[in-house]
Amino acid sequence: DSGVTQTPKHLITATGQRVTLRCSPRSGDLSVYWYQQSLDQGLQFLIQYYNGEERAKGNILERFSAQQFPDLHSELNLSSLELGDSALYFCASSLSTSGTDTQYFGPGTRLTVL
Amino acid sequence: DQQVKQNSPSLSVQEGRISILNCDYTNSMFDYFLWYKKYPAEGPTFLISISSIKDKNEDGRFTVFLNKSAKHLSLHIVPSQPGDSAVYFCAAGRNTGKLIFGQGTTLQVKP
C-alpha cells in the first residue's frame, strides 16, 4: 500500500460526458502528479501540482483540467469524453518538487468510454 | 517523440538466473533515472534509482547501470525469483518532478 488513494477504481461512461477522478496523496506529500496509461503504452505525464499550484504540464488535452485543494487532495476533470480517452489514470505523490523525491503511485482509475 | 524507450516488450528467464532489462533515452539533459515495477491491477511501485553522476547503484538483488555516453541504462535482477514477474518501467527526469516513462517490459520468471 503506497498510501496514495484514488477513487473511483473503475468508471464507465459515454462519449461526450464529463467525469472527475479523485486522488488523496500520502500524508505529508505536497506534490501530486497525474499520469495516463493507454493500452500498450507507457505512462504519459499529464500535470503536476505542488501545494495547490500548478507546477508542470505535460501532454494534457485542453478538455482535461486538474486542481489541488487546500487539503492537498487533487481532482482530474475530463470533459467531452472521446473513445480514445479510455485508459488507466494514475495519481502519484511526492514530498516536494525535487526530481529526486520518490513518486508513490496510487492504484489507478480505469476509465472506459463507450 | 519517444524520449525513453524500452525496446523489448517481454522477457522470460528461469528462476535463479539473471534478468537484464534495458532502456534507452535520447535527452542528454535527464539527470535522474528510475525503475518502477507494476503488478496487474496495482499502481507502479518504485524499485531503484540512479543519479546521472553515478554509473551504478545496487540494492539487494537489484542493480541499475547507467552508461551516459550510450544513453543507456539497464536493470539487473540476480537471482530472479517468480515473484519478480511483473511489468518493469524505466523512467527519466530532470530536477523537476516530471518523469518520462518507457513503454514497459513484461518480465516472466519461470520456476
- CA A6 to CA A92: how far, in whole Å? 10
Q: Which helix (H) or strand (E) holds B32?
A: strand B32-38
Closest CB to A41 among B95, B97, B103: B103
Report d(CA B49, CA B29) in Å as an integer. 16
Chain position carrying cell 542493480: B63
Look at B41 and B49; give whichever has higher pLDDT. B49
Q: Given this model, what pLDDT does residue A77 score?
A: 98
| Chain CA centroid to CA A44, Å | 10
Indicate which of B1, B50, B99, B105 best probes the interface with A, i.e. most A CBs within 10 Å of its own CB: B99
In chain B, % helix, strand, coil (3-state, to 5) comes to 5, 55, 40
CB contact under 8 A, B95 and A98: yes
Distance from CA of A106 to the nearest CA of B (A): 5
Residue B50 in this model has a pLDDT that exceeds 90: yes
- The kind and range of the H/E element at A66 are strand A64-68
Minimal CA–CA distance to A29: which of A94, A103, A105, A97?
A94
> Please, which pLDDT band fits residue B1 given cuts at 50, 70 and 90?
low
Question: Which pLDDT belongs to residue B20?
Answer: 98
pLDDT at residue number B2: 78
A7-65 confidence digits (pLDDT tens):
999 999 999 999 999 999 999 999 999 999 987 678 999 999 999 999 999 989 999 99
| Pick from B32, B36, B102: CB nearest A99 | B32
